[in-house]
Structure 1
Amino acid sequence: MIRIAIQAKGRLSEESLELLKEAGIQVDDTKRKFLSQSRSFPAELLFLRDDDIPQAVALGVADIGIVGYNEVLEREQDVEIVDRLGFGPCRISLAVPKTVDYPGLEWFNGKRIATSYPNILGKFLKEKGIDAKISVITGSVEIAPTVGMSDAIFDIVSSGGTLVSNGLKEVEKIVFSEAVVISGRNPDAEKVKVWEQIKFRINAVRDSRNMKYLLMNVPNDRIDEAIAILPAMRSPTILPLAQSGWSSMHSVVAEDVLWDKIELLKEIGAEGILVLS
């Protein structure tokens, strides 16, 4: 049995659950508990606040955790990043009131910066030789300049819409984050074996996203041309049809090049083209 810590709420929680579900690790989400066992895999899910996940993994309360890279950096726990999942992208940036004529990092000297990420910000300011005061705020950081609590903020940015609505502008992008998988430094060998099974499943799910399954009938004398057009995972599957002189070709194609490939295949005589998820 392996215990996986994930966020109890929020977008990262939903995407983590969906990924695990597609990988065959399911829990009854309608009756979510603090600790829920999977019905289909030797795993249980531990639902925590995102900022508690690195500590839970470091202490061995959870074997692995799915959490934002930003939280791993901020909490400074003794954990190892074992995979990057590619979803939940965001950044932590410095932002100032939009009325400020921003000249560069030196503007922050002597200023007060509100943030929920004092460790990351403190290291950055020290590296850059900036003498600024840090105010730790756990709530709505973006309102701090408006109410006079700070001159600027250091906070999570996704689309930037929240900054604009609060009269702020992004001036320095410091950390780029995404969902990562973390583990302790000395994991149990049996737990590592189970994690490798999960990782294989997750990678299979990720590889299948944005891919399409393409089927078509191709004249036998044009098969080599069709193979040259299609970038299959290894090579296309070719099956003879009952009608003489024709074969059925099956392949997996990236969605972003799919329709260009189909036009080329039509030009060499491909027919009965079907696109499946």
Structure 2
Amino acid sequence: MSKLKIAIQKKGRLHEDSIKLLSSCGISIDNGKDQLKVNISNFPLEILYLRNSDIPKYLEDGTVDIAIIGENVLIEQEPNITIVQRLGFSKCRVSLAVPKDVDFDSLNYFNDKEIATSYPNTLSKFLEENNIRAKIHKISGSVEIAPNIGLADGILDIVSTGSTLFKNGLKEVKQIMKSEAVLAKSNLLSLEKEELLDRFLFRLKAVLKAKNSKYILMNIENSKIEAITKILPVLKSPTILPLTEEGWSSLHSVIDENEFWEVIDELKIAGAEDILIVPINKMVN
């Protein structure tokens, strides 16, 4: 029987989140130290731990079938692959930064300057689109040090919190794109592996949907049920159970985490009491 080969980052910011996501999908991972290929016993899956920058090529030539990878890496390398699911973690931005004491007022600052980056293709396109003439220094890592050692006047790099820039005496001046972890697939999958991918995606989407939703319970007077159900976003319709106290019911539903506080305030105003919010482990439609 075929196995779906998935590549994840061998180490770094995506590694731990990728392992947690697979575990949430019921994938039992048991690998020894420094083991770079792991067969999964409870799902037709094989995990390959690879360097982040190598993953797009492995996807493109079909060596691996799917991968969890940063969107920014795919934009930089432009492989012939397909993004099948955005994962919502490892969010960052790709930004230009300059020394803190630089008086930066526009992108024209970079004209005839030198910029260090690990994303030369992304930077080159941005500069061209904005008619900026600058020299690009390609650096594999530790890009933030370039201005401090006189190698460059600014950098283009990924930024999460900005603390690394601050520690190196830099400030963010222009965000050129946002990025997050995505699930990407090779365009060379067989029909059998496409079916395996569908099974894997079923689990993955159930986990992601649950992560972004909350189960909500509240007590309400029966006379207020209609008004409250109009406020409450629901899957189809809320569950309503009678309480032992006459004239009262318990209403159960699901809300999107992004609407959490706005919905709660409205429900309280409309008369909801004893509101409970419960995390959801899995959510299957």
- Assess, with a 3 A threshold, how the Cα gap between structure 1 residues 176 and 215 changes in structure 2: closer, same or farther: closer
Select 1:260's aligned residue among 254, 259, 265: 265
Q: Could you tell me which amino acid in structure 2 is paired with residue 66 of structure 1?
A: I
Partner of 2:136: 134
Distance in 2 (alpha carbons) for counterparts of 1:226 and 1:130: 55
Superposed displacement of residue 204, structure 1? 1.8
Superposed displacement of residue 226, structure 1? 3.6
Select 1:223's aligned residue among 222, 225, 228: 225
Work out whether 1:111 is the aligned partner of 2:116. Answer: no
- Assess, with a 3 A threshold, how the Cα gap between structure 1 residues 128 and 262 changes in structure 2: closer, same or farther: closer
Distance in 2 (alpha carbons) for counterparts of 1:236 and 1:261: 16
Distance in 2 (alpha carbons) for counterparts of 1:23 and 1:179: 16
Superposed displacement of residue 245, structure 1? 5.0
Consecutive unaligned residues in structure 1, runs of 5 or more: none
Consecutive unaligned residues in structure 2, runs of 5 or more: 280-285
- Assess, with a 3 A threshold, how the Cα gap between structure 1 residues 106 and 247 changes in structure 2: closer, same or farther: closer
Superposed displacement of residue 243, structure 1? 6.5
Aligned residues: 274
Superposed displacement of residue 58, structure 1? 0.8
Q: Could you tell me which amino acid in structure 2 is paired with residue 147 of structure 1?
A: I
Select 1:159's aligned residue among 161, 179, 203: 161
Partner of 1:122: 124
Deviation string 1:232-255 (CA, Å, 9 cap, x unpaired) is 211111334566655443211334
Superposed displacement of residue 68, structure 1? 0.5
Distance in 2 (alpha carbons) for counterparts of 1:274 and 1:103: 49
- Assess, with a 3 A threshold, how the Cα gap between structure 1 residues 34 and 218 changes in structure 2: closer, same or farther: same
Select 1:86's aligned residue among 88, 93, 96: 88
Superposed displacement of residue 147, structure 1? 0.8
Superposed displacement of residue 38, structure 1? 2.3
Distance in 2 (alpha carbons) for counterparts of 1:37 and 1:120: 35
Name whichever of 134-143 and 228-237 sits farther off.
228-237
* Contact preservation (8 Å) 2:6, 2:66: yes
The residue matched to 1:27 in structure 2 has which SS?
coil
* Contact preservation (8 Å) 1:229, 1:264: no
Partner of 1:53: 55
Partner of 2:38: 36
RMSD of aligned alpha carbons: 2.4
Q: TM-score, normalised by structure 2?
A: 0.86
The residue matched to 1:9 in structure 2 has which SS?
coil
Q: TM-score, normalised by structure 1?
A: 0.88
* Contact preservation (8 Å) 1:81, 1:180: yes
Superposed displacement of residue 169, structure 1? 1.6
Q: Could you tell me which amino acid in structure 1 is paired with residue 265 of structure 2?
A: D
Distance in 2 (alpha carbons) for counterparts of 1:251 and 1:76: 42
